[in-house]
Structures are given as C-alpha cells and as structure tokens.
Amino acid sequence: MLSKPDLRLTDKDQAMLAGEFGPAPQLAMRILVQMAQIYGAQELLDISAAHIDSTIYIGEAGLEYAERLAALGAKVAVPTTLNVSGLDEEHWREWAVPSDWAHKAHRQMMAYASMGAIPTWTCAPYQTPMKPAFGQQIAWGESNAIVYANSVLGARTERYPDLLDICCAITGRAPATGLHLEENRGGDILMELVDVPASLQELDVFYPVLGTLMGKLAGERIPVIANLGVVPTDDQLKALGAAAASSGAVAMFHIAGVTPEAPTLAAAFHHKKPSQRIPATLEMLTEVYRGLTTSRDDHLDFVAVGCPHFSLDEIRKLAELMAGRRRHPDDRFIVTTNRRNRDLAREAGYLDTLLAFGCQLTLDTCILATPMLDRSLRSMMTNSGKFAYYAPGMLDLRVTYGSLEECVDSAVAGRVVKGGDVWPV
Ligand code: F3S
C-alpha cells in the first residue's frame, strides 16, 4: 500500500477541516487535503484569485456538487471569476439546445454565482479587469487560461481540474506544488524555428498552427520557443497557448525575449541545459496547418470564431472585414464571446456591423460547451486551432482551418474560399 506523504497544515487549515468555518469550507478543505496528498504536496499555500471551470453543465454529478456547496452556504474567499457556462441565456432558443438541458445549465450557473464569484462567464479571464499580476499565486481552471496566466502574465497556477478549483476558491488555499513553485517553472525542451519567414510569423493564422505543433512536441513539458522574429500580440499568444493546451497538455511555455520569465534563453531554462532540442521547420508547420483541415471539399454550413472568446480587438478586426458585406443566406456565422465584450463592442459601434453582416453572437458559452448545433450543421470553418482540434472528435464536424479573412470571404461566398492570404504552400 502506498503511504501518503506528510502534509503540513496551518492552524487555520486545521480549523477549516474541523468545521469551525462552517460546513462548506470543511467539505472543500477535506477534498483539497486529499488532492494535495495525491499531488505529493507538503503544504498548502495562499492564493489571491481563482477561476472556476466547473461552471459548464456536463451532467447531474457536476450540478449536484455545485448545488450542494451552495446549499451549505459556500462563499469564495478570494476574488473568483467564472469560466464559460453551458448556456447562452439570451440566444439559446435560436439553436438546438433542449429546454431541460438549458434549465439545468442555468441552475449550475446560479449555484456558482450564489457563492460570490464574479459572473464573467468567459474562458479568457485574462482579458478582463480581473487579469492577474506577475508572480501572483492563483488557482485557475480552463486549459487555455492556465497556459496564458503562467506564460504570458507570469502568474502562478497549476492545472486545476473541475471541482477542485472551487475548493481552492472557498478555502483560499492550494497545494504548494507544480507551477506554483519557482523551481518547476524552467523550460524543459527547446523548440527552434527554422526557416520560418518573418512575414508568416506576423500573421494571426500562424499562431494556432505553431501552438498545435508545440503541444504535439511538448506533451506536458515546458517548451521554450527560440528564433521567433516578431513580438506576438496578446491575441496571438492567446491562440498559441490555447492550441498547445489542446494538442498537448502544455500549461506553460516561454518565448525567449518575449514572455516575462524568459528575458534570455538561458533564463528561460533556469541556466540549465534543455532536455531536448527540436527544430520547428516550415515543413513541419505546414503539415500541421494542413492537418487542422479535415474537410475534403468546399462545402460550408457555418463559420465559428471566438475560441478562446473573442476580445474587443478581435471583434474590431472582424467588423473591419465585414463592413458593407453580407453572409451567404445558406450559411451561418457564429462569434463566441462574453456579454461584457458584446456590450463593449456595442458601445464601440462594431456590433451593428457584425449584425448587418448576419453574424450571430453566442454569449458566455461556446459550441463545445452547449449543445447548440443540430445535425444540419456539419461543415465548419474556423480560425481557431482549438476548435479545429476538438470539433471533429467531439462534434463530428468536418472542419476547414483558415485565417479570419478567409472565414469572412467564405461566409460571403457560401463555400470555402482559401488562398486570400498567406500560408506559403
Ligand atoms: Fe473557450 Fe469554448 Fe474555446 S470554452 S477556449 S471557446 S472551446
């Protein structure tokens, strides 16, 4: 029988475990202690923020868990944001979402909101006013958010699974392990770009491809990218991390000279040697680029963009591409974002352009988190590496991967139109 490692608990941890703070912190601490022992942590540490991924309704167990905590009077102890939910409360009736399912998804949303969490309903909490700071200890769920927090912001979080994330939020504590600790944040493998033109590196379409390749090569390890000749935008880094966390289990990456813990290549590796050096050639990237498309013809039922949730700047770019145009009547165009960004887009004047084009906004959820697509929608085009990676297996869709420009051009044409820009194939 395996012996459990010793876990040192503070007096306050012990008091929570004994029920002195009430039944909800007691339950949360009991789960947290069990999980900390499984992780091999020797102590817990204070966190100052949390992001909850258990908000998506995926069945009775998750709903029962949330409502049980809520009924016990659970309240979050630190500022806590909420991931996408299972329901677009404004638009779900326009889609194939069953009403019973919608009712339960709504109950799960309300349970988490009742715990005092901020109803952000987004998988991009790092693009809200709740963005964590460098060095901040946090407990975040949602793979793309985890990788962005660690890599781009230099905040510190492990990969928190559903159900454990809320235990951290209620107790304000997390296992002192993994990426919370400085010694575990150095790079493992070196991924060197070889012969990748700078003109390609500047394009948005490049980053989901690079991220997909990075995830395949790195698995759970921390990759360090070298020879990138440009400084990616926040949205490009978002797309890079989301794809890497999909095709692999990347929770952190470094880009030498770009990300905060990698001012130099040596610093990224904590002045140690990489365990492996892997070239990332244009040929390898092109193979990944092609592999993200599973559709074999130019048939198109709908376009979906906004994975991770579209930022205001991405909505602005989309509005520029859509101005004065209209989608083909046989196709649909879905933009997934959250209600805050929708409101900001309305104030900025972008929303009217999107609606005039024939866009449908899906708020606070996405096509993978809510059963909105009926069987008539089989051929999708997307600019998202994460949607392209998961949609064939999870939703049985045929996917074409392309740039945002190509997505808009295709929606206008009513069929897949490629080659408007960019990839040098
Ligand atoms: Fe967000 Fe859904 Fe993509 S949760 S990261 S839009 S799969």
Q: What does the pLDDT look like over 133-142, one tens digit per residue?
A: 999 999 999 9
Q: What is the 319 CA–ligand 1 centroid distance (Å)?
A: 21
Atom nearest to 144 CA in ligand 1: 5
For 16, residues 6+ apart whose C-beta sits below 8 A from its C-beta are 25, 26, 28, 29, 171
Q: What is the pLDDT of residue 2?
A: 43
Separation CA 218–CA 251 (nearest Å): 10
Same fold, 11-182 and 302-413: yes
CA of 369, closest atom in ligand 1: 2
Q: Which residue's CA is minimally distant from atom 5 of ligand 1?
A: 308
> pLDDT tens across 188-202, in order?
999 999 999 999 999
CA-closest candidate to residue 42, choices 176, 192, 232: 176
From the alpha carbon of 367, which atom of ligand 1 is closest? 2
Average pLDDT over residues 271-283: 96
Q: How confident is the model at residue 425 (pLDDT cuts 50, 70, 90)?
A: low
Task: Give the pLDDT score at 6.
Answer: 86
How much is the pTM? 0.96
pLDDT at residue number 4: 52
Name the fold adopted by 11-182: Aconitase; domain 3 (3.30.499)
Distance from the alpha carbon of residue 28 to the mean position of ligand 1, in angstroms: 27
Q: Which contiguous run of DSSP H or E holds residue 315?
A: helix 312-322
**Domain residue limits, the chain:** 11-182, 186-291, 302-413
The pLDDT tens digits for 207-266 are: 999 999 999 999 999 999 999 999 999 999 999 999 999 999 999 999 999 999 999 999
In this predicted structure, the answer to whether residue 3 has a pLDDT above a threshold of 50 is no
Q: Is 396 exposed, middle or buried (0-12, 13-18, 19+ CB in 10 A)?
A: exposed
Homologous superfamily of 302-413: Aconitase, domain 3 (3.30.499.10)
Q: What mean pLDDT is reported for the chain?
A: 96
Ligand 1 surroundings by CB, under 6 angstroms: 84, 123, 144, 242, 307-309, 336, 366, 368-369, 386
Phi, psi torsion values for 398, nearest 5 degrees: -90, 130
Asked if pLDDT for residue 1 goes beyond 50, the answer is: no
pLDDT-based confidence at 5, cuts 50/70/90? low
- Over residues 125-131, mean pLDDT: 97
Rounded to the nearest whole angstrom, what is the distance from the C-alpha of residue 368 to the centroid of ligand 1? Answer: 7
CB 252 within 8 A of CB 222: yes
Model confidence at 152: pLDDT above 60: yes
- The residue whose CA has the least distance to atom 6 of ligand 1 is 307
Question: 408 pairs with which residues across the strands?
Answer: none
Share of the chain above pLDDT 90, in %: 96
Model pLDDT for residues 310-351, shown as the tens digit of each residue: 999 999 999 999 999 999 999 999 999 999 999 999 999 999
Residues in the chain: 425
Per-residue pLDDT, 250: 97
The rounded Å distance from CA 138 to ligand 1 centre is: 20
Ligand 1 atom closest to 123 (CA)? 1
